[in-house]
Structure 1
Amino acid sequence: MDKNALIYGYTLSGPDKGVPITVDDVARGVSKEQCTWLHFDYTHPDAISWIEQQSALDPVVINALLSEETRPRATALKGGVLLSLRGVNLAAGSDPEDMVAIRVWVDEKRVISTRKRSLLSAQDIAALIDAKEGPETPGEFVAMLADRLIARMQETIQDTEDKVAEIEEKVLTAESYSLRSEIADLRRQAISLRRYLAPQREAMLQLLSDKMLLFSADDHVRLRETTDHLIRYIEDLDSVRDRAAVTQEELVNRLSEQLNNRMYVLSIVAAIFLPLGFFTGLLGINVGGIPGADNSNSFMIFILFLVVIVSLQVWLFKVKRWF
């Protein structure tokens, strides 16, 4: 087996607790006397071959561990639990809503997990195992993994809330159309995050059901606390989505009001100059009989006439309360 197929391998319990498991150990066969964790890259051919031919897993579990597309879930199956969970993508240059999936099978003695992209929560658990502070049972492993996945969402969701609050403040004073794209991006991010976290909430609630016999009382307490945090984050995302929608509507209203005010001013100006343009056009035609053509004072008289017309218009507009 190629060394890149196995990302992490550890013995979780017994006298060899915390001892790494190598690809050679996996090829020879992992001991079933001690609890172990094997973490694979499911896109690697050697990982696919081992899971399909040597893992002795149910075909349903094999398909789930190797599936390209998956939805968060928790299913009790033949003495074990099949999990699919997601975490935010914190890789540099990536969108947080482009979430990273991890698929996990746990039974009494084994934890087998797969992923395609790097997941920081799995790295955290590996570091804890190296420090002799890692999980000792499959149930404890699942509780720790879920806790790490949910905890890493906090900063992303708080950043989203802060951005919405900042835009809400800008809307009160800003006149830039660029705010519309910022709000649209935030709404898209909140909707995408919630789309994955909502089924993950159902998966976490399923883990707390009586069917999951692998989890101890302490594991249930930790899973319940993690589930409460997840539910709160989903409620925060709902709030962000609603606030962004209201802010977007307010921005559209303000932009529409600005446009209407400008159109109103242009309409007033056009209304004032419409009769002036009529008279100047009428007196500017090149035909005989134009009044005052032979009078040297005709131009000043015409200017005074136009001033009177404008004054009457302004008076009429004020009476009509048009401005």
Structure 2
Amino acid sequence: MHNPPDTPQALHLLYEPAGFICAFHFAGGHARQMKWNEVIDYRPHADAFTWLHVKTADVKIQQWMAHHSGVPEHINEFLLSSDTHPGLHMSADSVYGTLTDIKMEIGDTGTEKGALHFYLDSRRLLTLRTQPLCSTNLLRQKVLDGVGFQNSMDLFAKLLRCLADGFNERLDSLNDKVDDIEFSVLSDRRPEDRSELSSIRRQLAELRRFIAPERRILNQFNRLRPAWVPSTAMDDLTHALDELNELHTTVEALYERAKLLQEEIASQMSEQMNRNLMALSILTALLMPATLVSGIFGMNVAGLPGLHDEVSFWVVMGIMGALGLATVAFLKWLKIW
């Protein structure tokens, strides 16, 4: 953050823009919240660093980024772009890229993703987003709660952990749902279990697509190890990578559980259908002799026995019942019923 020149455009920026979300100054492990006029007048100190979080859609923010942020022009273009593809880029003294995060306030039925652009060097962390995201909101709350950070890389590692916490919170919710469905499947299956499992599998597949790029980015960062990053901060980054790896394993395991439960439901449905078909087949077999006899005696032709005998009806009914019992005995002998 650099002092802007004395121009009408710079004076226009003195008024706090709507896209300014928060800014913090860190010194000696303590954080102090900054106002917008402090941000534009701030000069970096050797023993301090800052975090600025803004919205990219604000024109004032775009002007400040372009003329007064001190960020190279090609990096500015990237940070203000609408590119949502996760990635990591490095220069001689900075790191910048895009992280995939979960949007806030989207309900329990989806995991709509959002993009967080970031710029990191030894003196500041700059984050930009278009819509509210879980990770930056969690990080801001931790800073306001008094959590201390020693350097900008330490703060960035905490951002990644907040990112993992957001994923983990959604994963815990899905895990509870899978537990309920598993209990239902093993006891008295509900009709809506199958559709709910399909929804859970879709959400888990989305989470898997979110986490995989973050792991790739962290692995790349951990492998390159920029010279300006303290070794202790790299250890924090390694821990954040371990959390994402563990989260990835949990997602895979929960996805397999949901898949197996769906297969179990399909097996139960198939078994129930087979039982219904068996019952229908047995009923058809039981009625077949009676249908044959009634069909024969229902023919309107001359010479049918018993047409003028009052006992003939009961005789025919007895024959039909006997044939039904014989059919039952035959099915029992075949062990079909």
What TM-score, normalized to structure 1?
0.89
Aligned partner of 1:308 in structure 2 is: 322
Q: Which amino acid aligns with 1:256?
A: S
Whole-angstrom distance in 1 between the partners of 2:189 and 2:79: 51
Deviation string for 1:136-180 (max 9, x for gaps)? 422122112112221233232222223223222221233433211
Q: Which runs of 5+ in 2 are unaligned?
A: 1-12
1:225 aligns with 2:239: yes
Deviation at 1:95, TM superposition (A): 4.6
Residue of structure 2 aligned with 1:295, choices 309, 325, 330: 309
Residue of structure 2 aligned with 1:83, choices 89, 97, 119: 97
Whole-angstrom distance in 1 between the partners of 2:262 and 2:145: 49
Q: Conserved in 1, the CA contact under 8 Å of 2:184 and 2:190? A: no
Aligned partner of 1:194 in structure 2 is: 208
Q: Conserved in 2, the CA contact under 8 Å of 1:143 and 1:222? A: yes
Whole-angstrom distance in 2 between the partners of 1:16 and 1:236: 35
Whole-angstrom distance in 2 between the partners of 1:15 and 1:277: 91
Whole-angstrom distance in 2 between the partners of 1:225 and 1:82: 20
Mark the CA change 1:110 to 1:170 in structure 2 (over 3 Å): closer, same or farther.
Answer: same
Q: Conserved in 2, the CA contact under 8 Å of 1:96 and 1:156? A: no
Deviation at 1:207, TM superposition (A): 2.4
Deviation at 1:204, TM superposition (A): 1.6
Bigger Cα displacement from structure 2, 291-300 vs 169-178: 169-178
Deviation at 1:74, TM superposition (A): 2.8
Mark the CA change 1:176 to 1:19 in structure 2 (over 3 Å): closer, same or farther.
Answer: closer
SS at match of 2:223: coil
Q: Which amino acid aligns with 2:95?
A: V
Identity across matched positions, percent = 24
Whole-angstrom distance in 1 between the partners of 2:272 and 2:155: 57
Q: Conserved in 2, the CA contact under 8 Å of 1:40 and 1:115? A: yes
Q: Which amino acid aligns with 1:309?
A: L
Aligned partner of 1:52 in structure 2 is: 66
SS at match of 1:208: helix
Aligned partner of 1:32 in structure 2 is: 44
Bigger Cα displacement from structure 2, 35-44 vs 194-203: 35-44
Bigger Cα displacement from structure 2, 181-190 vs 66-75: 66-75
Deviation at 1:69, TM superposition (A): 3.7
Deviation string for 1:284-319 (max 9, x for gaps)? 233332210011110111011111211221122122
Deviation at 1:264, TM superposition (A): 0.8
Aligned partner of 1:169 in structure 2 is: 183
SS at match of 1:101: strand
> Pairwise mapping of residues 95-244 of structure 1 onto structure 2 (< 5 A)?
95=109, 97-130=111-144, 133-244=147-258
Whole-angstrom distance in 2 between the partners of 1:131 and 1:271: 76
1:265 aligns with 2:276: no
Bigger Cα displacement from structure 2, 261-270 vs 130-139: 130-139
What TM-score, normalized to structure 2?
0.86
Aligned partner of 2:27 in structure 1 is: 13
Deviation at 1:88, TM superposition (A): 3.4
Whole-angstrom distance in 2 between the partners of 1:248 and 1:80: 47
Bigger Cα displacement from structure 2, 122-131 vs 305-314: 122-131
Q: Which runs of 5+ in 1 are unaligned?
A: none
Whole-angstrom distance in 2 between the partners of 1:130 and 1:186: 34
Deviation at 1:219, TM superposition (A): 1.1
Mark the CA change 1:204 to 1:278 in structure 2 (over 3 Å): closer, same or farther.
Answer: same
Whole-angstrom distance in 1 between the partners of 2:145 and 2:320: 92
Bigger Cα displacement from structure 2, 140-149 vs 238-247: 140-149
Mark the CA change 1:214 to 1:73 in structure 2 (over 3 Å): closer, same or farther.
Answer: farther
Bigger Cα displacement from structure 2, 32-41 vs 308-317: 32-41
SS at match of 2:227: coil
Aligned partner of 1:318 in structure 2 is: 332
Q: Which amino acid aligns with 1:313?
A: T
Bigger Cα displacement from structure 2, 253-262 vs 136-145: 136-145
RMSD of aligned C-alpha atoms? 2.5
Q: Conserved in 2, the CA contact under 8 Å of 1:89 and 1:95? A: no
Q: How many residues are aligned here?
A: 321
> Pairwise mapping of residues 266-285 of structure 1 onto structure 2 (< 5 A)?
266-285=280-299
Q: Which amino acid aligns with 2:215?
A: R
Mark the CA change 1:124 to 1:272 in structure 2 (over 3 Å): closer, same or farther.
Answer: closer
Whole-angstrom distance in 1 between the partners of 2:59 and 2:109: 28
Deviation at 1:127, TM superposition (A): 4.5
Q: Conserved in 1, the CA contact under 8 Å of 2:123 and 2:152? A: yes
Whole-angstrom distance in 1 between the partners of 2:28 and 2:250: 42
